[in-house]
Amino acid sequence: MSGPDAVYRLEDPFAFARAGGSRSGVIAIAAMPRLLDRVADTGGTVSYELRGRLDQRQRPLLELEVAGTAHMRCDRCLAPLDFLLKLASKVLIAEPGAAQPEDADDPETPEWIEAGQELDVLELVEDEILLGLPYSVRHGDGKCSDWSAEGGRGGKVSPFSALASLLDPEQTNKD
Ligand SMILES: [Zn+2]
């Protein structure tokens, strides 16, 4: 691989920030390999919007918003659960080797990253989702699926119903 895919490559992020640039697009969850062990399947997409500007100290700043859906699994009932992602973050960008900002300890100061002559937007979005995606999700109280009562809705067959018919063949034959 020689650098990011052209679609996701942001040439000169510093100029982008100074010019107040903006860029948006849609990325499939499946295109972000580091998410794959965190989701139940690779369905779902996110849309992103990246905007550049200068902060009060005239430093280049990138603002990223990500919204979309990740297919996860409920920790309690193991049924699929669409997790709605709605994330927003800001990062200051600095030339490689630049000194840490003097206000880096200020909790109000956004995180900063070193950026080169190009920035991989997909990687930035992927990082943002990795930080924003919880390790464990659950349906709301009382909202969990009762798989056995619903007879395996969604194509999932309860292992117990299969076992029951194996153990009681006469019952099945009588019908
Ligand atoms: Zn559940």
Q: Which of 3-17, 39-53, 132-146, 147-161 has the lowest mean pLDDT?
A: 147-161
**Which of 43-47, 85-89, 157-161 is least confident?**
157-161
| Helical ranges in 115-175 per DSSP H | 121-132, 159-167, 169-174
Measure 83 CA to ligand 1 centroid, in angstroms.
12
- Alpha-carbon torsion angle 49, 53, 55, 57, nearest 10: 160
Please tell me the distance between residue 33's alpha carbon and the centre of ligand 1 in angstroms: 26
CA of 24 to the centre of ligand 1 (A): 33
Token pair 């942001």 is at which residue? 10
Residue 30 CA to ligand 1 centre (angstroms): 24
How far apart CA 79 and CA 103 sit, in angstroms, is 46
Ligand 1 centre distance from Cα of residue 72 (Å): 11
Ligand 1 centre to CA of 148 (Å) is: 13
Mean pLDDT, rounded, for 120-129: 95
Residue with tokens 């969850």: 29
Tell how far the Cα of 123 is from the centroid of ligand 1, in angstroms. Answer: 31
Confidence category of residue 150, pLDDT binned at 50, 70, 90: very low
Q: Count other Cβ atoms within 10 Å, centred on residue 126.
A: 21
Q: How far is the CA of 77 from the centre of ligand 1 (A)?
A: 4
Question: Which whole number is the average pLDDT over 144-159?
Answer: 55
CA of 73 to the centre of ligand 1 (A): 8
- What mean pLDDT value characterizes the chain? 85
CA of 38 to the centre of ligand 1 (A): 17
Q: Do the beta carbons of residue 119 and residue 10 sit within 8 Å?
A: yes
Please check whether residue 147 is in contact with residue 100, taking contact to mean a CB–CB distance below 8 angstroms.
no
Q: How many CB atoms lie within 10 A of CB 10?
A: 20
Calculate how far, in angstroms, residue 10's C-alpha sits from the geometric centre of ligand 1.
40
